[in-house]
Structure 1
């Protein structure tokens, strides 16, 4: 039994319950709802650390069913370098020495982190970020189980894997550019 599986089983009557509501003639809405519930369960703050690992530049990654049409939408926030115009000029800083995103040693390398309250009392920070919002293609996503007792844990695991692949395909090129042409 996996930790992710335990979280899925724990949410069968809450997060996953909506997946088997009557969505009329739209199986796509059911698929988007199951994908959304699977992603929420696999990522923080539900699971900490999350079942899904992310690139050090990823501040947040969400996948959810659109209230507009029931499709699947994604949003990802990334740490970004300062805009070129700010890099070329120091006039905007006044007498302050603005700092970029702080980093912390975690695991095998450095990761971006939000400055602590103590850090902010000592110096100012300008933390640039990029927000991506996009439709997530639903073709070739795994099928939704027929009910809450039909292998939901394994279906959720397969769904998260498929969503990771789709998000990597969509966000990966942006990360490559931000990292100077290479993925970490």
Structure 2
């Protein structure tokens, strides 16, 4: 998998997906099993709609439906979702993330006596990013800040799903291609913004 960085927010675990397949066949896919189990969540009209199909495949391929997901979200982020606007149907990326006190300008940071997000001591990460959690010490005041970043994905060239899949492998291929477009797009349009919010350039937004 691609290594995490300050601008890499999501990545695909394709090797793990194949390794965890039931049959060991080249096209076997754990993601595919979950897709098949959730076909009732995909309306007939959405099967040929690139935005709706992508939003469905993304939802299936991430937690809490798949854990660990086919799409991995950087551990220090809260969530990365795809949805469609209620107003005009456009595809939207929604990123939810904790924001530590240290990312705020000096003059607006809370007093040091206020507890902040803490690194999950049981969440080991070999590439520098760990899940954040509420402070363990609940006897002292805590101020836990978070941000929601919402971005339109108007410029993405979305994958066109077939809509009918005589064999499951074709559905899996459509879903994987759709999700790959989203992973590249999210890192491109949101990576530098998140880096300025909580990453290497934190507080510089």
TM-score, normalised with respect to structure 1: 0.78
> Distance in 1 between the 2:174 and 2:187 partners?
20
Q: Which residue of 2 aligns with 1:144?
A: 161
CA change 1:49–1:31 in 2 (3 A) is: same
Q: Which runs of 5+ in 1 are unaligned?
A: none
Q: How much has 1:144 moved relative to structure 2?
A: 1.3
- 5+ long unaligned stretches in structure 2: 1-27
1:139 deviation in Å?
3.8
| Contact 1:101–1:112 under 8 Å retained in 2 | no
CA RMSD of aligned residues (A): 2.5
TM-score by length of 2: 0.71
| Residue 146 (structure 2) pairs with residue 129 (structure 1) | yes
State the match for 1:9 in structure 2.
36
Return the offset for 1:79.
2.3
Distance 1:126 1:136 in 2: 32
Which ranges of 4 or more aligned residues in structure 1 deviate by more than 4 Å? none
- Contact 1:35–1:64 (Cα < 8 Å) also in 2: no
Tell me how many residue pairs correspond in the alignment.
166
Closer, same or farther: CA 11–138 of 1 in aligned 2, 3 Å: farther
2:115 maps to 1:99: yes
